[in-house]
Chains A and B, each alone.
Chain A
Amino acid sequence: MKFSVSRDNFFKALQKVINVIPSKSTVDILYNVLITIKNNKLSIIATDLEITQISWTECEAMEEGDITVPGKLLLDIIRELPNVNISFSADSNHKILIKSDHGEYKLSGEDKTEFPSVPLVDSDQQVEIENGLLKTMIEKTIFACSTDHFRPALTGVLCQIMENEYRMVSTDGHRLVKVINKNFSGNGISRDLIIPTKALNFVARNLPDSGNQKIILSENHILFELPDTKIFSRIINEPYPDYDRVIPAEFSKELVIDRAEFISSVKRVSLFSNPITSQVKIVLSQNSMNISAQDIDFGGEANENVPCKYEFENIDIAYNANYLIDILRHIDEEKVKLTVNDADGPALIFPENNENADLNMVMLIMPVRIN
């Protein structure tokens, strides 16, 4: 196998897939990337067995073939080269020779047969989503996923493809995010699937800001076809909890508050909360919100008043400040609306003008019992 390629193209292609390489693995071959030369096209594949990503670029092929190469080492060499032409060749003993104007680099590769094969996603289940919206939806949901593998379903984002809308839902059992894209057509497909957060992270990173992207669904995999790259991911085949049941439809109290003021106030007050529970207490009274925290173990205390629009009876609620901050950070509008029934039930938080936007967004947070 022998080819020559410009440094910039090679580096760009390699950089796209490099993060898929697991940082720790019991399967050594996963530290390698698979390089294939066919029809003057250079393709690079990396996989961690759950996610597989392919990228490609133009090259000048002298001899077609394939080989696996230690990915991080290859990236480190290419990164430090200026934009020159690189010649890359591998012999039948998997000895690799990389040549540039600066010199020669020799390293050992491994045979392709060792490398896991790319999942076959051959299906006519295809949908298209507008790139900008998909990117936003991913960003708004993945923060609320669980990282605990005891409940695998919650480590991914639930994607619901329906006749006229596309939903993404994430929860870790203490908070929940639901984002609905109504500007969508399911092409007659109606399906729920759970996608690992890591895959969505890669997708968001490679998504262009405009245009539409094709998503192909097979029984166990999902394939995102992106510019110059494809991302395959395993689908988490676990039952997702019935989230709609826990989102109350009606509320007795409603609050509108400036998001930036709310978030910085919670941030300041939470510095004085117990570092383990991060509990902050919110007291709502006529057009005023009082936020307070107390650390019994170490004796710190803080409280602040924030003006708001609230015209209901007084109520005391406590939340984990980190959850509250997380949620508020992921809302873009100037003002947020918070609705609640009582101190024991969930609160819903949304952007004030939720109904008019392209994306309908609901964030839910469970309270902490007040002593």
Chain B
Amino acid sequence: MQKSNKVHILPEILANKIAAGEVVERPASVVKELIENAIDAGANAIQIYIAGGGKKLIQVVDNGCGIGENDLPIAFERHATSKIRSEKDLEAIHSLGFRGEALPSIASVAQVEIKTKEQSEKLGLVFTIDGGKKGALRKTAANRGTSISIRNLFFNTPARRKFLKSDNAENQQILIVLKRFFLAYPDIDFQLTLDDKQLFSLKKTDLKERLVEVFGAEQGENLIELDERVAGIEINGYLGKPQIARRSRSQQHLYLNGRPIMDRNISYAVYQGYGDTLDEGAHPVYCLFIEIDPAFVDVNIHPTKMQVRFSNDRTLFYLFLNGVKKTLNSHGVLADLSSVNQGSAIQKAVIENHEQSENEVKKEFELKKTKPSHFNLTKVKKGSGQISLAYFNHHESEQENVQASGQQSLLEEEKSDVRFWQVHKKYIFSEIKSGLVIIDQHLAHARILFEKTTKLLNDQRTSGGQKLLFPQKITLALDDFLVFKDIYQVLNQIGFTINVFSGNTIIIEEMPADVKIGRESQILLDMIDYYKNTSQTSFNLNEKIAAAYAFKNAIKTGDILNEVQMHNLVDQLFACEYPFYSPSGKPVIVSMELDELARRFK
């Protein structure tokens, strides 16, 4: 009997067809790939033609850089890409496409014609590929850029073609994809023609205008701008007021470094940020952009690139949660009396002592919008130092059951005692209703000092410094001295008084009042080092010095804290704008649900 090889390598065309199953699910995914290519080619005007729900024709015409004669046939090879060259590039993906799978996959299941011209060339090129079979390369007259048309998608894979929905349903999917691009690139002209009818003709503009054009004029007035940046992460964009919330999530747009993504964690954070302003089953409208160092994100986990993995999703969660709350607060959306009532002891005092009317309190609240209103850390008795971790309960119980009223747990928690335990001279443990919270003492204190100091610097205030009985004379290394010259004015603002004695020798005459005695010169050198070692871009000068000061002056791991000190620390932490992460973006608080604990004991 003749032996037959059971295992063999697939022919390339077949392999492409199979890969197409992953990349090219439906016409909308073809549209997405083609537009990404157009954008990566540097186009600033893109025309899209769709016919028959994209099953008949998808054509994308751009004015980008075009494809050269030598590159064109290779562009349809698998893993052919101009966007990354080495493994290293994968760590820092800035372009939209990169896998080199789209064109060959599409070409294996459709009839493709591509017409392209580089600016420097006189004549353009036309090239066809039919179900993976390459045609001839011809010269032709063409405009600058690339026009690619995809006809009869899935003509050679009838099984898949059968799974496509009606023209209308496919058109809707295409629109969803297109809207994402419309919003992400307000600086690109887009034209969409659907079955010979021009649906959109968007001119280059700014995001707000583009949002109005895409969402509709009436919604434009109900958009609130959001702009948050912390620790190298930047979020900006617009939130819709609760009154324009939708029943579906179709108007939720999230972009990561320009790439549209879906992220349940973030979408949940935004939802939480709206608190109870939303009706049951309503979903907020938003269009938000995240700018983050590509090194912190893995975008290569799914072929459609819609899902990404953040190295620090907890931080992002709280950044969005707090950013949304703060933005809504500052526009009066969340600033109702009830949230003031549950606010800090000071806000309580404002109400009790001055008996201001609701409106005045609201105004006061607006003025103090940097004060936390939603961290319902309430002093039960003034001066007793007794605080309740109600915020956690509020938040956690909502996470368990969105419909449950956070109010209830709040009131209950106010009556109960909160205890703290210090573990390994490093972490503070506390019990909350739904489980356990763990706070890193050093990071928590760093956050407190960072916010105090940045606030001081941003308000142009100067903090009083404690005069030293024995001024400290230090001779700095030349590079340290240069850094010192850069920063000493800001240092003087936060309570130092440092004068140059002669040459590189300086004299510390005053220190911020909260610096531990005896650490004067050490803390200055530490701050200079920290300043030198942080990258130039991550903070502005004030924030950088505030961060240096915060990290270097904060309670250290290994410092023993008593119960009162822990109370104070947690109290102050929750008076912060962003209690949940340190100035460098590390989480300050970690919580563990009872369920999770229970699971561990199984």
Contact with A along B255-272 (1 / 0, CB 8 A): 000000000000000000
- Chain B residues with CB under 8 Å of A44's CB are none
Known: A297-B452, A320-B513, A369-B510. A279 touches B522 (CB 8 A): no
Whole-angstrom CA separation of A310 from B33 in the bound complex:
84
- Among B510, B513, B518, B520, point to the contact of A279 (Cβ < 8 A): B513
Whole-angstrom CA separation of A104 from B29 in the bound complex:
88
Q: Are A150 and B518 in contact (CB under 8 A)?
A: yes
Contact with B along A278-301 (1 / 0, CB 8 A): 110000000000000000111110
Whole-angstrom CA separation of A262 from B503 in the bound complex:
45
Flag whether A157 is at the interface (Cβ < 8 A): no
Q: Are A241 and B470 in contact (CB under 8 A)?
A: yes
Q: Are B514 and A277 in contact (CB under 8 A)?
A: yes
Of residues 338 through 357 on chain B, the ones whose CB sits less than 8 Å from some CB of chain A are 344, 346, 350
Known: A366-B466, A366-B469, A368-B467. A173 touches B517 (CB 8 A): yes
Whole-angstrom CA separation of A275 from B346 in the bound complex:
14
Flag whether B461 is at the interface (Cβ < 8 A): yes
Flag whether A17 is at the interface (Cβ < 8 A): no
Whole-angstrom CA separation of A255 from B520 in the bound complex:
32
Whole-angstrom CA separation of A241 from B517 in the bound complex:
15
Q: Are B513 and A173 in contact (CB under 8 A)?
A: no
Whole-angstrom CA separation of A149 from B519 in the bound complex:
10
Expressed in whole angstroms, the minimum distance between the Cβ of A279 and any Cβ of chain B is 6
Of residues 447 through 466 on chain B, the ones whose CB sits less than 8 Å from some CB of chain A are 452, 455, 461-466
Flag whether A172 is at the interface (Cβ < 8 A): yes
Q: Are A371 and B469 in contact (CB under 8 A)?
A: no
Of residues 171 through 202 on chain A, the ones whose CB sits less than 8 Å from some CB of chain B are 171-176
Whole-angstrom CA separation of A368 from B469 in the bound complex:
11
Flag whether B165 is at the interface (Cβ < 8 A): no
Whole-angstrom CA separation of A275 from B344 in the bound complex:
16
Q: Are A173 and B469 in contact (CB under 8 A)?
A: yes
Known: A296-B461, A298-B346. A369 touches B514 (CB 8 A): no
Whole-angstrom CA separation of A369 from B497 in the bound complex:
9
Known: A246-B470, A299-B346, A364-B469. A173 touches B518 (CB 8 A): yes
Most buried by A among B464, B469, B519: B469
**B448's closest neighbor in chain A, by CB?**
A276
Expressed in whole angstroms, the minimum distance between the Cβ of B268 and any Cβ of chain A is 32
Q: Are A176 and B469 in contact (CB under 8 A)?
A: yes
Contact with A along B467-485 (1 / 0, CB 8 A): 1111000000000000000
Contact with B along A345-371 (1 / 0, CB 8 A): 010000000000000000010111111
Q: Could you tell me how many residues of chain A have their Cβ less than 8 Å away from some Cβ of chain B?
A: 35
- Chain B residues with CB under 8 Å of A279's CB are 464, 513
Whole-angstrom CA separation of A175 from B465 in the bound complex:
14
- Among A297, A346, A368, point to the contact of B464 (Cβ < 8 A): A368
Whole-angstrom CA separation of A346 from B468 in the bound complex:
9
Q: Are A368 and B465 in contact (CB under 8 A)?
A: yes
Expressed in whole angstroms, the minimum distance between the Cβ of B509 and any Cβ of chain A is 9
Known: A173-B469, A175-B469. A368 touches B513 (CB 8 A): yes
Q: Are A173 and B346 in contact (CB under 8 A)?
A: no
Expressed in whole angstroms, the minimum distance between the Cβ of B471 and any Cβ of chain A is 9
**A344's closest neighbor in chain B, by CB?**
B467
Whole-angstrom CA separation of A145 from B302 in the bound complex:
63
- Among B466, B470, B513, B517, point to the contact of A148 (Cβ < 8 A): B517
Flag whether B249 is at the interface (Cβ < 8 A): no
- Chain A residues with CB under 8 Å of B516's CB are 148
- Chain A residues with CB under 8 Å of B568's CB are 275
Expressed in whole angstroms, the minimum distance between the Cβ of A324 and any Cβ of chain B is 12
Flag whether A154 is at the interface (Cβ < 8 A): yes
- Chain B residues with CB under 8 Å of A146's CB are 517-518
- Chain B residues with CB under 8 Å of A296's CB are 461
Most buried by B among A146, A150, A173, A277: A173
Flag whether A151 is at the interface (Cβ < 8 A): yes
- Chain B residues with CB under 8 Å of A175's CB are 469
Whole-angstrom CA separation of A172 from B469 in the bound complex:
9
**A172's closest neighbor in chain B, by CB?**
B517
- Chain B residues with CB under 8 Å of A172's CB are 517-518
Flag whether A231 is at the interface (Cβ < 8 A): no
Most buried by B among A149, A318, A364: A318
Of residues 515 through 531 on chain B, the ones whose CB sits less than 8 Å from some CB of chain A are 516-520, 522
Known: A297-B452, A298-B346, A368-B464. A276 touches B469 (CB 8 A): no
Q: Are A150 and B519 in contact (CB under 8 A)?
A: yes
Expressed in whole angstroms, the minimum distance between the Cβ of A172 and any Cβ of chain B is 5
- Among B464, B469, B517, B575, point to the contact of A277 (Cβ < 8 A): B464
Of residues 136 through 188 on chain A, the ones whose CB sits less than 8 Å from some CB of chain B are 146, 148-151, 154, 171-176
Q: Are A246 and B518 in contact (CB under 8 A)?
A: no
Expressed in whole angstroms, the minimum distance between the Cβ of B51 and any Cβ of chain A is 64
Whole-angstrom CA separation of A299 from B575 in the bound complex:
13
Whole-angstrom CA separation of A2 from B71 in the bound complex:
102
- Chain B residues with CB under 8 Å of A276's CB are 513-514
- Chain A residues with CB under 8 Å of B497's CB are 369
**B461's closest neighbor in chain A, by CB?**
A371
Chain A residues in the interface with B (C-beta under 8 A) = 146, 148-151, 154, 171-176, 241, 246, 275-279, 296-300, 318, 320, 344, 346, 364, 366-371
Sample of 17 A–B contacts (CB below 8 Å)? A146-B518, A149-B518, A173-B468, A174-B468, A174-B469, A175-B469, A176-B469, A241-B470, A275-B568, A277-B514, A278-B513, A279-B464, A296-B461, A298-B346, A366-B466, A370-B464, A371-B461
**A-B complex: 5 closest residue pairs judged by Cβ atoms:** A148-B518, A277-B513, A366-B467, A150-B518, A368-B464
Q: Given known contacts A174-B466, A366-B469, what 8 new A-B pairs fall within 8 Å (CB)?
A: A148-B516, A150-B522, A174-B467, A174-B517, A366-B466, A368-B465, A369-B495, A369-B497
